[in-house]
Amino acid sequence: MDLSYGPEYQAFRDEVRAFTAKYADRAPRGALGGDMRDWQLLLIEHGYAARTIPKAYGGFGAAPDVLKSRIIAEEFLAAGLPMGMSGQGISMLVPTLLEVGSEEQKRRYIAPTLRGEIIWCQGYSEPGAGSDLAALTTRAIEDGDDFVINGQKIWTSTAAQADMMFCLVRTEPDAPKHEGISYLIFPMTTPGIEVRPLVTMTGRAEFNEVFFTDVRVPKTDVVAGRGQGWMVANATLKHERGMLGDPNQAGTRLKAIVELMQTEDVDGRRLMDNPALRDRLLKLQARVHAMEFHGLRLLTAGLKGEDPGVARLIVKLMGCELNHQLAAFAIDALGELGMLYNNSPHIRNGGNWQWSYMFDLGLIIGGGTAQIQKNIISERGLGMPREPKPAKV
């Protein structure tokens, strides 16, 4: 155990800190500040975004160093500056292409994705294929040099803004469930694609439904080969689950709640002086620390090439739950202010707590529901038996 960073990393931290001080005014913050794409370019140039992606593909080209990545995240958090662009293109498609994409696909798509010039959406879930993703039925039938796609996707975030989609389709209808799937990439402007916004309980359309009618995609736009889609999807989901359980987000939320409880008062008394609220805050603080240090433990295991086993499998479940609990607590701490929404007078923090409380429930369900996560933890982590297949009638 050694939580000191040593001189090389201290120097790196100083460098990042100098950057955050110098360029703070160029950072996009809500409606204020600079443009997100300009910010992204600035970050890539300095190695604070796309850090380990090879220069040939538009990244910064640094050797992977998780400690440096962590220092960047810590310093940006401390300075209250946004990290670079995220989203499904950068977080999921880019790592997937780097892992299994062709050279041509890497050169064509990675750099513009990193620069924010191509926005991606993910076509995985279907109305009949959620937790049981491999049951998907959107079909792609071979026709000359193309596949012709028919079917429907759902829960497609950013589909309305996206330029491209990475999509799972069934190319081999007669193959076993997991073997007949291919991973295709294509522009959202391809004829036959219709996007319908899906309004959620938040009142906003964070997701969409996407309908395909005779959508033609060249066969060359398959990633990792025909029938390999399930393998590719698992590579992508691994990245998504890491993204969804991010402990930094919980730390940021906790910090905001502490500030809220120190500044907001009722009957002339700070919320922090209410012992019942304070006790709940402390419970959550312990959880945030526990997940933060748990992240350090996994980080160290990764550095040493050790498999942390079940410890790794719990992050999505616990991280999403914690974020949701933090939002729920903030609303309780706000009392009657907590029921306000949208642009109501008196609303705090732009209604973000209320939105998060609802939206985060979606994150607990999405990316593998909490129940699916518990299956994974118990089966792969604890070696418990799988649910027996129902008897055939």
Partner 1 sequence: MEFGLTSDQKMMQESLGRTLERVCPLERVRKAADGAAPDVLKAIAELGVTGILVPEEFGGLGLRLLDAALAAEMLGRHVAPVPFIASSVMAPLALLGAGSQAQKERYLPNLATGELIAGVALSEHAAGARAKAGVAAKNGKLSGKALFVLDFAGADIFVVADAFGGLHIVDAEAKGLERTALPTIDATRAIGELNFDAVDAEPLSENPQAALDRMVDAGRVMLAADTLGAGGRMIEKAVDYAKERKQFGRVIGSFQAVKHLCAEMIAELEPCRALIWYAAYAFDEFPDQARRMAAHAKAHTSEVGTFVARTATEVHGGMGFTDLLGLHYWFKRIGFDRQALGGPEKVRHDAAVAQGWVGN
Joined tokens for residue 366 = 């999405």
Q: Which tokens sit at 264?
A: 């907001």
Catalytic pick among 240, 321, 379, 387 = 240
* Distance of closest approach, residue 41 Cβ to partner 1, in angstroms: 30
11 part of the interface to partner 1, by CB under 8 A:
no
Please say whether the beta carbons of 181 and 230 come within 8 A.
yes
Which 3 state secondary structure label does DSSP give 150? Answer: strand
Our finding on whether 266 is near partner 1 (CB under 8 A) is no
Residues binding partner 1: number (CB under 8 A): 53
Find the helix packing angle between 315-334 and 247-263, rounded to 10°: 10
Could you say which of 299, 337, 347, 363 contacts partner 1 (CB under 8 A)? 299
Which residue number, 13 or 178, has a Cβ lying nearer to partner 1?
A: 13
Judge whether 152 and 215 are in contact, CB under 8 Å: no
CB of 302 or CB of 351, closer to partner 1: 302
Quote the distance between the C-alpha of residue 263 and its chain's center: 31
**The only residue of 294, 323, 326, 364 in contact with partner 1, by rule CB under 8 A:** 294
Per-residue binding letters, 357-376, with partner 1 (x by CB under 8 A): --------------x-xxx-
**Closest CB to partner 1 among residues 29, 283:** 283
Q: Is 317 in the site for partner 1 (CB under 8 A)?
A: yes
The answer to the question of residue 13 lying near partner 1 (CB under 8 A) is no
- Cβ 322 to partner 1, closest distance in Å? 10
Closer CB to partner 1, 276 or 393, in the complex: 276
Q: How far is the CB of 377 from partner 1 (least distance, A)?
A: 4
Distance (Å, whole) CA 171 – CA 150:
11
Is 74 known to be catalytic? no
Distance, in Å, from the CA atom of 149 to the CA atom of 193, rounded to the nearest integer, reads: 10
Q: Which of 1, 31, 32, 391 binds partner 1 (CB under 8 A)?
A: 1
Cβ atoms within 10 Å of 165's Cβ, excluding its own = 27
Which residue, 10 or 220, is less far from partner 1 as judged by CB?
10
Q: How far apart are CA 293 and CA 288, in angstroms?
A: 9
The single residue listed with the structure tokens 């938040």 is 202
Tell me which of 62, 67, 83, 98 binds partner 1, using CB under 8 A.
67
Q: By CB under 8 A, what part of segment 147-186 binds partner 1? A: none
Alpha carbons 88 and 250: distance in angstroms, whole number:
20
Is residue 386 near partner 1 by the rule CB under 8 A?
yes
Whole-angstrom Cα distance, residue 159 to residue 138?
17
Q: Which residues pair with 270 in a beta bridge?
A: 265
The Cα–Cα gap between 383 and 386 comes to: 9
Strands 265-266 and 269-270: antiparallel
Q: Is residue 99 a contact partner of residue 90, using CB atoms and an 8 Å limit?
A: no
Q: Stretches 248-256, 312-320, 324-332, 338-346: which one binds partner 1 (CB under 8 A)?
A: 312-320
In angstroms and rounded to an integer, the radius of gyration of the C-alpha atoms of the chain is 23
Tokens at 89, concatenated: 């293109």
Residue 117 burial (CB count, 10 A)? 13
381 binds partner 1 (CB under 8 A): yes
Residue from 278, 340, 349, 351 in contact with partner 1 (CB under 8 A): 278
Q: Binding partner 1 by CB under 8 A: which of 15, 99, 163, 379?
A: 379
Please return the burial class of 124, using the count of CB atoms within 10 Å of its CB with bins 0-12, 13-18 and 19+: buried
- List the x/- string, 225-264, binding to partner 1 by CB under 8 A: ---------------------------------x---x--
Closer to partner 1 by CB, 201 or 391: give it: 391
Q: Which of 31, 383, 392, 393 binds partner 1 (CB under 8 A)?
A: 383
Q: How far apart are CA 289 and CA 270, in angstroms?
A: 24
Quote the CA–CA distance of 156 and 105 in Å, as a whole number.
22
CB of 280 to partner 1, least distance (A): 10
Residues designated catalytic:
240
Chain positions contacting partner 1, by CB under 8 A: 1-6, 9, 67, 70, 258, 262, 272-273, 275, 278-279, 282-283, 285-287, 289-291, 293-294, 296-297, 299-301, 303-304, 310-311, 314, 317-318, 371, 373-375, 377-379, 381-388
